[in-house]
Amino acid sequence: MPARPIVQPARTPERRKPVAIDAAVQRAGLTPPQLATLQTMEQFRWYLHFVRRPLFQAPIPVLFNQDASRFVVIQEDGTLDEQPTLKLRG
């Protein structure tokens, strides 16, 4: 019996679409120390890229530098974690 060729499934197009998120919505729920640190970092051209919101935990704001080569996390008390253990998708 001849071997049947392996048929690769067709790639489905990306369903996720970039969504413009209002800055006020992103900042909602951040602690006052986190907001103060965020404002200071923005003066140094860091920008808030996203906020992780794990269940039953404080939100985790993730900031990137101007050329997106580094990222930091602002802890609940407003301190910076310059070597976070977050795993980011490429």
Gap between the Cα atoms of 82 and 89, Å rounded: 18
Q: Are 67 and 46 in contact (CB under 8 A)?
A: no
User: Does the model's pTM come out above 0.95?
Assistant: no
Position 14 scores a pLDDT of 67
Task: Give mean pLDDT, residues 13-22.
Answer: 71
Nearest to 46 by CA among 66, 75, 71: 66
Region of poorest pLDDT, from 4-13, 46-55, 64-73: 4-13
Phi, psi of 52 (to 5 degrees): -80, 140
Q: Residues 11, 15, 16, 18: is their CA dihedral positive or negative?
A: positive
Position 25 scores a pLDDT of 87
Locate 78 and state its tokens.
């407003």
